[in-house]
Amino acid sequence: MFGYILKRLLQMIPTLIGVSILSFILIHAVPGDPARMMAGQQASEKDVEMMRDRLGLNQPLYQQYGNYVAHLVQGDLGKSIRSNRPVMEEIKTRFPTTIKLTVFAVLLMIVFGLFAGIFSATKPNSLADNSTMMISLFGISMPVFWLGIMLILIFSYYLHWLPSGGNDGIKYFILPAVTLGLSSSAILARLTRSSMLEVTNQDFVRTARAKGVKEQMVVYKHTLANAAIPIVTVIGLEFGHLLGGAVLTETVFSMNGLGRFIIQSIQLRDYPAIQGCVLFVATLFVLVNLIVDLS
């Protein structure tokens, strides 16, 4: 087991190197000059050139990337161009909001997704089954930004039940978590249904029923337990996807999280902040995949 874990950890290195190279190339391919944005639109060309020199943007791209990697191996993600603060400090400030939102969304996904999938699997091809799968298809098809706006309109604007933005307490996370987790719940429901139906036809399940085992025990101990491998895999993968999906959700609900910070950094062409955040999220995604494989 230790050898497998070590092998997987070593495999992370080329993956993260590839992520850093790709993000570096894509960021610099985006139109816009961060030096001009920092100096201001009314600044002279001389001032812009001085700003570009201070930020190291006059150097060739390969040299800029080399400097970035040299700092990266020392655990330094650089300084944000916008705030002049270390990128790691910016991440530490905002990541707790993002991880709370993601955890709430995953819990919602597990509760509703598993319940809907088990419910459908125990009543295959019935009206209840078809209705549940139609609702899950609707959940998969809805764009996150549209769903978030609709929830704000209904529960904040008309009903005044929940706040429309911010992250000052648990109630501020309810609408964002529903927005973020609904699509994943639908995916998990459909996978749970198909996995359980495959196991239901196995001999050991029929034998358990023939021996008079209670149906609840057959469903949860024999069927669900043996169908859990793909379900656990998808839960882990969706956790990583939800971390990335928080970008849109945090923007819609004005939450001061890592996702919204990435959007703001892209708008201002804050190269170190974008690269640092992308690499941080990619590292988390790889670690989550490792944990899923081990489980």
Whether residues 153 and 41 fall in one domain: no
Whether residues 155 and 199 fall in one domain: yes
Looking at 45, 76, 107, which one is the last position of a domain? Answer: 76
pLDDT surpasses 70 at 164: yes
Q: Is residue 81 part of a domain?
A: no
pLDDT surpasses 80 at 42: no
Q: Which of 217-226, 265-274, 277-286 has the lowest mean pLDDT?
A: 217-226
- Model-level pTM? 0.81
Reported confidence tier of residue 183, pLDDT bands at 50, 70, 90: confident
Q: What percent of the chain shows pLDDT beyond 90?
A: 0
Distance, CA of 39 to CA of 95 (rounded, Å): 29
Mean pLDDT across 109-136: 83
Domain count of the fold of the chain: 2
pLDDT tens column, 71-97: 888 888 888 877 788 888 889 888 898
Q: Can you give the pLDDT at residue 41? A: 67
What is the residue-wise DSSP string for the chain? -HHHHHHHHHHHHHHHHHHHHHHHHHHHHSS--HHHHHH-TT--HHHHHHHHHHTTTTS-HHHHHHHHHHHHTTT---B-TTT-SBHHHHHHHHHHHHHHHHHHHHHHHHHHHHHHHHHHHHSTTSHHHHHHHHHHHHHHHS-HHHHHHHHIIIIIIIS--S-SS--SSTHHHHHHHHHHHHHHHHHHHHHHHHHHHHHHTSHHHHHHHHTT--HHHIIIIIIIHHTHHHHHHHHHHHHHHHHHHHHHHHHHTT--SHHHHHHHHHHTT-HHHHHHHHHHHHHHHHHHHHHHHH-
Whether residues 69 and 159 fall in one domain: no
Whether residues 62 and 177 fall in one domain: no
Reported confidence tier of residue 40, pLDDT bands at 50, 70, 90: low
Whether residues 280 and 211 fall in one domain: yes
What's 233's domain CATH number? Answer: 1.10.3720.10
pLDDT surpasses 70 at 39: no
Name the residue range of residue 204's domain: 88-294
Q: Is residue 18 part of a domain?
A: no
Whether residues 47 and 177 fall in one domain: no
Q: Is residue 39 part of a domain?
A: yes
Looking at 43, 76, 109, which one is the last position of a domain? Answer: 76
Whether residues 51 and 115 fall in one domain: no
Residue 99 burial (C-beta neighbours within 10 Å; 0-12, 13-18, 19+): middle
More confident residue, 97 or 212: 97
Whether residues 68 and 124 fall in one domain: no
Q: Is residue 19 part of a domain?
A: no
Reported confidence tier of residue 257, pLDDT bands at 50, 70, 90: confident
